[in-house]
Amino acid sequence: MRLATWNVNSIRSRVDRVIAWLDRADIDVLAIQETKCRDDQFPSERFEEAGYEVAHVGFNQWNGVAIASRIGLDEVEIAFPGQPGFDKDAQDSLLSAPVVEARAIGATCGGVRVWSLYVPNGRALDDPHYEYKLQWLAALRNSGARWLAERPDAKIALVGDWNIAPTDHDVWSPDFFTGKTHVSQPERDAFTAITAAGFTDVMRPFAPGPGVYTYWDYTQLRFPRKEGMRIDFILASPALAATVTDAGVDREERKGKAPSDHAPVVAEISD
């Protein structure tokens, strides 16, 4: 299986590019984030024509996640258990009975339970969205730990745009990001808690050291200046991680006309 994740930053704007890449890169399963459309606006027919089944959840022009698979798409689940919500109009922004955003969708593809995840950005350290982000990650960690406790041999992939750079190697300038989200210790601790629960960053063994990024801001010529961040990940359960034979970033997809500001991350998984 070739499993990939890609924040496409609007699927309707980039569907031609995504479909062409799926064929060129020979991808079996693609987790997509930031589709920026409702379910009825998602270009499902383009994926179906290319041989992929699609599951998508999107409520408006924000967020939105999907999974496209040519090896089966079963047991589709929208939102993971305990996933918190956010209401920008509420006084404290965090609700005890939250409206859950379109940020997580799961499906079983070829025997692997794939979760396409778009972790909240956090915005700023003093923004209610930051606390929401930490609660969201804590809930994901709890669900992931429970899945592994119930089935230690389960093949599970938690993939997507995590909006966290876990180490200083994962940003082009640690000094530049001082006092900002994505690199704060609570965010990094939340990411570490998920890996400590049993999920492995499968790309790092194949792409060690600094300078390996998945995201480059559109502004300030960040991409040609190689000023990026590694914030997109494939985290695998022990049983799945043991079958990963290669992984990396397709940096070429950040080039060309009207690219996403993210590049795809791809993992090769043996039978």
pLDDT digits 0-9 by tens, 233-247:
999 999 999 999 999
Instruction: Give the pLDDT of residue 36.
Output: 98
Residue 90 has pLDDT above 90, yes or no: no
Sheet order of strands, 112-118 included: 74-78, 104-109, 112-118, 156-161, 232-236, 200-201
Whether the Cβ atoms of residue 101 and residue 63 lie closer than 8 Å to each other: yes
Instruction: Give the pLDDT of residue 152.
Output: 98
Instruction: Give the pLDDT of residue 98.
Output: 57
Question: pLDDT tens-digit profile of 148-169?
Answer: 999 999 999 999 999 999 999 9
Residue 96 has pLDDT above 80, yes or no: no
CA distance linking residue 175 with residue 215, whole number of Å: 18
Whether the Cβ atoms of residue 102 and residue 33 lie closer than 8 Å to each other: no
Whether the Cβ atoms of residue 119 and residue 161 lie closer than 8 Å to each other: yes
Alpha-helix runs per DSSP H in 36-151: 44-49, 128-150
Whether the Cβ atoms of residue 108 and residue 76 lie closer than 8 Å to each other: no
Instruction: Give the pLDDT of residue 271.
Output: 79
The DSSP element (H or E) to which 22 belongs, if any, is helix 11-25
CA distances to 204, 224, 269 from 208, rounded to whole Å, are: 5, 21, 19
Whether the Cβ atoms of residue 188 and residue 166 lie closer than 8 Å to each other: yes
Whether the Cβ atoms of residue 105 and residue 144 lie closer than 8 Å to each other: no
Residue 248 has pLDDT above 80, yes or no: yes
**What contacts 57, CB < 8 A, 6 or more positions away?**
39, 64, 65, 66, 78, 79, 102, 105
At 93, the pLDDT band (50, 70, 90 cuts) reads: very low
Please, what is the average pLDDT of the chain? 95
Largest Cα–Cα distance of the chain, in whole Å?
50
Query: What pTM value is reported for the model?
Result: 0.96
pLDDT above 70 coverage of the chain, percent: 96
CA distances to 4, 152, 176, 210, 220 from 118, rounded to whole Å, are: 14, 25, 24, 24, 25
